[in-house]
Amino acid sequence: MDIKVIASSSRGNCYQVTDNGSSLLVEAGIRFKDIQVGTGFGVSKLAGCLITHEHLDHAKSIKDVMKAGVDVYASAGTFEALGITGHRAKPITAMQPVQIGTWTVLPFAAIHDAVEPMGFVMASQGGKVLYLTDSGYCRYKFKALTHIMIECNHSLELLHRNLAAGIIDIAHKNRVMRDHMSLEHCLDFLRANDLGAVKEIHLLHMSDQNSNADEFKLAVQRLTGKPTYVASA
């Protein structure tokens, strides 16, 4: 199992997840040229592309990916919000698994200010990967995960500190708390799940202003005892 971070921030998100049989692109929120470079010019070999929601830092190049001959999987609400149609657009439904190449993908509902946002569990013979970002919290528990890719956007302490310093305003603070996963909620999620089979944890989509990568990584490693990586590309 190989997880490649092509981009992970509010400026754009894109990841490639590969097992021994096929690769999935997860998000297309950067320029298509950068997706081409990030995949080693292997876009046409992708089994499919998963999109969580319609915000452009996750879906900017969705049309280009489809034009390259790759099927894109997202909720019907996401496709509608983006005005996307065509035979390469494959609507999926929360809690209904779909087979994509060598992967069985289970979509589930996320908590975000989007029409029909989703997270994904991607399973193959190589392992079982959770992908969840742009979600205030997670209402589900999962079994037998081997890899976790999860948002760790901010900490409540830094949010309050930056609000008091005038670096952010109250509207920004409230939106971030509602629609993005905090370090505290990330740790709660990890406590609630069986991590016995987990090999590594990837922390995604950290805020430029409201996070501390070293502290967040250390907090997760202390709690879980698992190798932890900060997605910073």
Domain ranges of the chain: 2-230
pLDDT for res 44: 94
pLDDT for res 21: 87
pLDDT for res 212: 95
| pLDDT higher than threshold 70 for residue 106 | yes
Band of residue 232 on the pLDDT scale cut at 50, 70, 90: confident
Q: What is the pLDDT of residues 52-62, one digit of tens each?
A: 999 999 999 99
| pLDDT higher than threshold 80 for residue 86 | yes
CA torsion through residues 213, 216, 222, 228, sign: negative
CATH class held by domain 2-230: alpha beta
pLDDT for res 38: 97
| pLDDT higher than threshold 70 for residue 233 | no
Q: What is the pLDDT of residues 31-54, one digit of tens each?
A: 999 999 999 999 999 999 999 999
The runs of H, that is alpha helices, within 74-182 are 76-82, 156-164, 170-179
Cβ-based neighbour number of residue 115 at 10 Å: 15
